[in-house]
């Protein structure tokens, strides 16, 4: 009895509950669920034909090899049949050098493992309140959520191509949503910006929400990393910033392809190439940018004024809106870039107490489980009726339309629902205690 009392006092002093056998079983169960969900995806894509495995990782790795050999970084193409060029800033090639030291097969497995580690980090920041609410069952909750998000079409494409999208998403979410970061806030966004330009939208976000220190840290980090690229690879850096970058669409692929779910891709599938298409795209992009950043600012300022889980959801909503803007405003926003929808699901679900919010999150999750834009292509052609072709055209843009709709949903409906200034009584919001979340 004396020993038990001493252990209880030690727990009270440390603030950390003592784990028992059940807790370790719950942790193992959470890991097992996540691994079981990921295993078929990994088996499918790492067991694919050799010339179809992680083709974007091959681009990064070949970029790293070019750095080691002193070969021109923006002149090479990967092996047939892909023939892909390097399209990222030179510092990205330097960061890929460690993967050139591994055999190609080992590099694939290492990269895939890092993708799922990044997914776990994303799930934690997106669903933190829901996970914490489940108390000692939190590891199993996290495992189930990792499993559920692993099967999203954009996430599967991250593994299929060996992409960096989840790395960048994890960095941006952690930087913007960590309550007490152990790094200068903004640094991770700056590093993400140095690797790929699209996270640059968060510089605007930091400015319009008054996060000037984060803006300075992000900009400084990006500049230092870019100057480091010039120091390591002066010729390639000049070639990128004053050459390859300006080629944009020519190096990244056709803008009217199904996988481009950005505004320009949607417009390009409706209007033939020419001044009219460019004008329509610019007008729509400007309108979406104006409203999107306005709503992101509104959500974030509401989060600053709110408390508890409402504050977390509003902050996440603002960050998710900006993340989606990085996709839809880009000239090319591929389907695998829409991993930002995970942040949307988390902002909507919150701690899981609001039924209507959870239903919206579930509906969007269900939509992104299936490759609907690719299925819709089968409805487009001379053998189909006008109605089928029209439906196929709309469904072909389903992910882009859903991303735009999510920006609207988060920036208007969710903010009104949670903002302490504007919220109203709603019968779908259950009035319950905080439970384990408040512990």
Structure confidence at residue 421 as a pLDDT band (50, 70, 90) = low
Q: For residue 45, say if its preceding peptide bond is cis, omega within 30 degrees of 0.
A: no
Residue 4 pLDDT > 80: no
Residue 8 pLDDT > 50: no
- For residue 312, tell me if it sits in a domain: yes
Say which residue, 104 or 428, is predicted with more confidence. Answer: 104
Please calculate the CA angle 292-288-372 and round it to the nearest 5 degrees: 100
Establish how many alpha carbons lie within 13 A of residue 418's alpha carbon, considering only the half-sphere containing its beta carbon.
Answer: 37
Mean pLDDT across the chain: 90
Give the containing element (helix H, strand E) for 123.
helix 104-126
- For residue 307, tell me if it sits in a domain: yes
Structure confidence at residue 252 as a pLDDT band (50, 70, 90) = low
Structure confidence at residue 251 as a pLDDT band (50, 70, 90) = low
- For residue 239, tell me if it sits in a domain: no
- For residue 350, tell me if it sits in a domain: yes
Based on the structure, what is the number of domains in the chain? 1
- For residue 358, tell me if it sits in a domain: yes
Residue 231 pLDDT > 60: yes
Residue 401 pLDDT > 60: yes
Residue 112 pLDDT > 60: yes
Residue 2 pLDDT > 60: no
Structure confidence at residue 92 as a pLDDT band (50, 70, 90) = very high
pLDDT of residue 100: 95
- For residue 161, tell me if it sits in a domain: no
Closest CA to 68 of 97, 111, 27: 97
Domain of residue 399: give its range. 253-423
| Phi, psi angle pair for 260, to nearest 5° | -85, 100
- For residue 290, tell me if it sits in a domain: yes
Please tell me the distance from the alpha carbon of residue 426 to that of residue 290, in angstroms, as a whole number.
Answer: 30
| Phi, psi angle pair for 429, to nearest 5° | -95, 110
Please tell me the distance from the alpha carbon of residue 380 to that of residue 38, in angstroms, as a whole number.
Answer: 33
pLDDT of residue 389: 82
Of all residues in the chain, the percent with pLDDT exceeding 90 is 75
pLDDT of residue 247: 59
> Do residues 252 and 240 lie in contact, with contact meaning Cβ atoms separated by under 8 Å?
no
- For residue 383, tell me if it sits in a domain: yes
Please tell me the distance from the alpha carbon of residue 229 to that of residue 49, in angstroms, as a whole number.
Answer: 34
Q: What is the pTM of this model?
A: 0.91
């Amino acid at each position: 009895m004396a020993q038990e009392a001493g252990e209880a006092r030690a727990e009270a002093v440390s603030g950390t509950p003592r784990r028992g056998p059940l807790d370790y079983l719950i942790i193992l169960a959470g890991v097992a669920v996540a691994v079981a969900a990921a295993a078929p995806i990994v088996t499918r894509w790492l067991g694919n034909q050799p010339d179809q495995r992680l083709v974007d990782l091959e681009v990064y790795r070949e970029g790293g090899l070019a750095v080691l050999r002193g070969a021109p970084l923006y002149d090479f193409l990967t092996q047939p049949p892909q023939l892909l060029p390097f399209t990222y800033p030179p510092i990205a090639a330097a960061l890929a050098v460690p993967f050139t030291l591994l055999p190609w097969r080992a590099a694939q497995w290492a990269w895939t493992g890092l993708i799922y580690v990044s997914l776990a980090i994303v799930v934690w920041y997106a669903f933190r309140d829901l996970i914490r609410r489940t108390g000692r069952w939190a590891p199993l909750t996290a495992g189930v959520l990792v499993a559920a998000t692993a099967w999203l079409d954009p996430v599967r494409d991250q593994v299929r191509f060996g992409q960096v999208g989840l790395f960048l998403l994890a960095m941006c979410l952690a930087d913007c949503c960590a309550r007490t970061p152990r790094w200068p806030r903004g640094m991770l966004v700056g590093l993400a910006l140095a690797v790929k330009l699209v996270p640059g939208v968060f510089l605007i976000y930091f400015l319009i929400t008054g996060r000037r220190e984060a803006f300075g840290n992000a900009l400084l980090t990006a500049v230092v990393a870019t100057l480091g690229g010039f120091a390591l690879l002066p010729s390639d850096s000049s070639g990128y910033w004053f050459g390859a970058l300006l080629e944009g669409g020519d190096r990244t692929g056709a803008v009217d392809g199904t996988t481009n779910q950005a505004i320009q891709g949607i417009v390009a599938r409706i209007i033939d190439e020419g001044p009219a298409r460019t004008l329509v795209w610019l007008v729509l992009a400007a309108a979406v940018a104006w409203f999107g950043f306005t709503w992101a600012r509104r959500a974030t300022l509401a989060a600053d004024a709110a408390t508890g889980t409402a504050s977390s959801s509003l902050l996440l909503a603002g960050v998710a809106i900006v993340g989606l803007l990085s996709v839809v405003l880009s000239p090319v926003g591929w389907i695998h870039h829409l991993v930002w929808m995970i942040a949307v699901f988390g902002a909507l679900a919150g701690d899981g107490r609001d039924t209507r919010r959870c239903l919206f999150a579930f509906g969007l999750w269900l939509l992104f489980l299936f490759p609907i834009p690719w299925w819709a292509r089968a409805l487009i052609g001379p053998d189909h009726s006008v109605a089928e072709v029209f439906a196929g055209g709309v469904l072909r843009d389903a992910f882009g339309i859903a991303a735009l709709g999510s920006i609207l949903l988060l920036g208007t409906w969710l903010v009104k629902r949670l903002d302490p200034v504007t919220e109203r009584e709603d019968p779908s919001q259950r009035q319950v205690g905080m439970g384990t979340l408040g512990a």
